[in-house]
Chains A and B, each alone.
Chain A
Amino acid sequence: MAQTHASEGQGHSIRLYLVTWVWLFILSACSYLVDYLHLQGHLRWSLILLFMMLKAGLIVAIFMHMAWEHLALVYAILVPPLVVFVFVGIMAYESDYTLITRQIAFAMGH
């Protein structure tokens, strides 16, 4: 069974990996340029996140072979990390509160 799996799932050409590699280089260069060109504000953050997600997607889909796995495995691995965004939301809300209490406390000289 391992044999059939190997011949079915791993028959990609080396060219596919090289193309992915080149794209990862281009995307990394782009994200470095965001800093080098001193882009600021929403443009900076949206570009950073865009290049980050594209790079992560390429690595998971092609280098880690997620694109060729069964949906049962794909969803078991990719859905749980989405819950992390809830955590991010909770902590962002909490940080805002901490910041406000600190500002008030420091302004009042305590």
Chain B
Amino acid sequence: MEQTVVREKGELQAQLQARPGGWRGFVADWSSDQRAFKEVPWGKAMMWIFLLSDTFVFSCFLISYMTVRMSTVVPWPNPSEVFALTIGGAEVPLILIAIMTFVLISSSGTMAMAVNFAYRRDRVRSARLMLATAALGATFVGMQAFEWTKLIHEGVRPWGNPWGAAQFGSSFFMITGFHGTHVTFGVIFLLITARKVLRGDYDHGARGFFTSRRGNYESVEIMGLYWHFVDLVWVFIFALFYLW
């Protein structure tokens, strides 16, 4: 059994070394038996496929928003004014959303570096950066809660608002609510992953509490993929919902 595994590993290694690059590599990978994603850890490939499906979910939300906005005969509320804050007596348009954008981009930056330090086995730095990412993510959710509270006080509901098309509220709550939920789950999993890294679970091959399987530092990169995706979705929401 052990020998078969070793021989298979050797064969895989030999195949990989003979693997062509570019378009030929693309065709060779997809036409080969069993594994199309060679040299890609299983968990990472599966996370990418999950993110692809999540892309479709968010696309559906944004397309429904486009559909209701294009087909309404009532003017759409101007997001620039709706999301303005009064700072020092002056109306600053979209300022909270701009700050939220910078916070989320910064969290993506710290996450990218956390992944890098994890592969260098710098556990303390990696965990600290992940905790910083989680803190920035929690800040983002906090600001979103503030924004929701402000809009609800001003009379925005899923079925109507004081400024124009009724569909504004339903689109807003659905899209930002679903995105905020993603951020919240990301923060929870960041804290779990940071704790595992800090304890050295991936060095000792400790078994996970949920799947009872041994993890490794690829988990940090997979966590990173999810987190960057949340940032990526925000880029589209910011452009299409808040700026359009």
Q: Is B174 an interface residue (CB 8 A)?
A: no
- Asked whether, in the complex, the Cβ of B109 is within 8 Å of the Cβ of A48, the reply is no
Interface of B is mostly: helix
Interface residues contributed by chain A, number (CB under 8 Å): 55
Known contacts A12-B116, A24-B108, A95-B66; A70 and B73 CB within 8 A of each other: no
Nearest residue (CB) in A for B244 is: A48
Across the interface, A25 reaches (CB within 8 A) one of B105, B111, B231, B244, namely: B105
A34 to B142, CA, bound (A): 26
Q: Is the CB of B80 within 8 A of A35?
A: yes
The reply to whether A88 and B39 form a contact with Cβ atoms under 8 Å apart is no
**Taking the complex as formed, is A67 at the interface, i.e. its CB lies under 8 A from any CB of chain B?**
no
Chain A residues with Cβ under 8 A from B26's Cβ? 70-72, 75
Q: Which of B37, B51, B112, B239 contacts A49 (CB 8 A)?
A: B239
User: B residues within 8 A CB of A31?
Assistant: 238-239, 243
Instruction: Give Cα A77 to B243, complex, Å.
Output: 27
Q: Which positions in B face A, CB cutoff 8 Å?
A: 9, 13, 22-23, 25-26, 29-30, 36-41, 45, 48-49, 51-52, 55-56, 59, 63, 66-67, 70-73, 80, 93-94, 98, 101-102, 105-106, 108-109, 111-113, 115-116, 119, 216-218, 221, 224-225, 228-229, 231-232, 235-236, 238-240, 242-244
Interchain residue pairs A-B with the least CB separation, the first 3: A95-B70, A72-B29, A21-B109
Can you give 29 A-B contacts (C-beta < 8 A)? A2-B217, A10-B116, A14-B113, A17-B109, A17-B116, A21-B106, A21-B109, A28-B98, A31-B243, A32-B98, A35-B243, A52-B239, A56-B232, A60-B232, A63-B112, A63-B231, A64-B224, A64-B225, A70-B39, A70-B40, A72-B36, A73-B40, A76-B36, A76-B37, A81-B52, A88-B66, A91-B66, A95-B70, A95-B71
